Amino acid sequence: MKTEEMWKVSTGEGVKVAVIDSGVNPNTASLKGQVLADETPKSVAYHATDDYSGHGTSMAELIAGTGQGGGLQGLAPGAKIVPYRIALEGLESGPEYEESPEAWEALRAAADTDAKIINMSFGGMTSKEDQAAIKYAASKGKLLVAAVGNDGFPDAPALFPYVIGAAAVDSTYKVSKFSKKSSRGYADLAAPGEGIPTWCDETFRSYCQSQGTSQATALVSAAAALIWSAHPDWTVNQVTRALLDTASRGWPKDEPSMYAGYGFIRPRVVLADPNYDPGPPDVDPLAKINGGDVLAKAGARDASNTDNAGNADNAGNSSSEPSASASGASQAPGKGSTGGTSAAGSNVETAAADGDSGNTLWIALGAAAAVIVIGGAGAAVLRARRAR
């Protein structure tokens, strides 16, 4: 995708990405000036900039890192990060655990801000409150991106409607074994998830090679930020449609892969075409499989003024709301599970690139000019299990 050429059109400037995770350290060389800590709602701001594992900071750098000081250079270095800290692996007991907001509380708070994208590189959101918060955030026009999981079962919130599930691939375009076992038809986009430098731990002294669908999730969020920055007047429907239509895949668009969804993120195609048509702003391209257009429903409620604030807050608690299957619930301790690492790492299925070597995406990783080679791509959302 020729990232450096793509950055001449868009770096993600003007787009805020809410990173709900283990917190985000704003003082790493790559994130100085990139974290809007003052914009985290006070109700959920507890220790938002105190990352207890390094996971959230790594995701933030993959999205919007500047590469300064030998740090990671994210795919959307012009974007800004709004930090949220919840209790995940690494924070499973004690006073800080008890004081940390629940994932659904952070998600609802983020939905009421001007952040356009909400990155959730974790799993375990299976309660009714979680599901209601997902639908509420979607009704606010947010693009929700989540990891499909690494542990052999599809994770929530990635398996729910209105959430883009991110799958991981390696540098040869093969779906990672851990991602394939976990996606089970809930993968919507694919992005790099192996051999990715992330912080080794909460000391922020060095980077380690890592793998996981968490990393893929961050890169999907960054790709969306590039598109939304170039087209700030687009709605979430149009950004989603752009990701769908520009996906790089070796299978028909109407036959999405069980393991890679609609293919690999490829924002270059959108950015290279000043006349790109994203379709109607008020039509969810995935309304049929999402169970309806949540934005349209929200607009109808606002227009008729028949629902009060309490009804809006309870969006998603209706009897038609899908529930998480047993296989989708997180088995990790604590309130959720991150997708940062996995013991499984062998390659299983090749998710085809489009065959054009010019579509290769290079992500620069710091001042040392280390790079990762991946295939160009885009993707979509499908809630049903897939046959491929």
Look at residue 385 in the predicted model and tell me its pLDDT.
23
3-state helix, strand, coil in the chain (%, to 5): 30, 20, 50
Q: Which of 10, 30, 53, 55 is catalytic?
A: 55
Task: Report the pLDDT value the prediction gives residue 300, as an integer from 0 to 100.
Answer: 54
- Active-site residue flag, 21: yes
| Longest pairwise C-alpha distance within the chain | 58
Give the pLDDT confidence score for residue 297 in this predicted structure. 65
| Domain at 3-374: CATH code | 3.40.50.200
Query: Which helix (H) or strand (E) covers residue 179, if one does?
Result: helix 177-183
d(CA 212, CA 216): 7
Q: Are 231 and 237 in contact (CB under 8 A)?
A: no
Those residues whose C-beta lies under 8 Å from the C-beta of residue 114, and which sit 6 or more positions away, are 16
pLDDT at 244: 82
In degrees, rounded to 5, the angle at the alpha carbon of residue 162 between the alpha carbons of residues 81 and 50 is: 25
- Contact call for residues 61 and 71 (beta carbons, < 8 A): yes
Neighbours of 115 (CB within 10 A): 25
263 vs 13: CA distance, rounded Å = 25
254 is catalytic: no
Tell me what pLDDT residue 2 has.
81
Structure tokens that stand for 195 in this block:
């051999």
Q: Exactly one of 10, 21, 151, 170 is catalytic; which is it?
A: 21
- Which of the residues 214, 229, 257, 330 is marked catalytic? 214
Instruction: Spell out the domain ranges in the chain.
Output: 3-374
Beta strands in the chain (DSSP E): 16-21, 80-85, 117-120, 122-123, 143-147, 163-169, 174-176, 189-192, 194-199, 207-211, 337-338, 347-350, 361-365, 370-374
Residue 185's pLDDT is 86
Model-wide pTM > 0.85: no
Predicted pLDDT of residue 72: 95
What's the pLDDT score for residue 379? 22
**Strand 347-350, strand 174-176: pairing:** antiparallel
Residues of the chain predicted below pLDDT 70: 1, 296-388
Would you call 47 a catalytic residue per the annotation?
Answer: no
pLDDT at residue number 344: 28
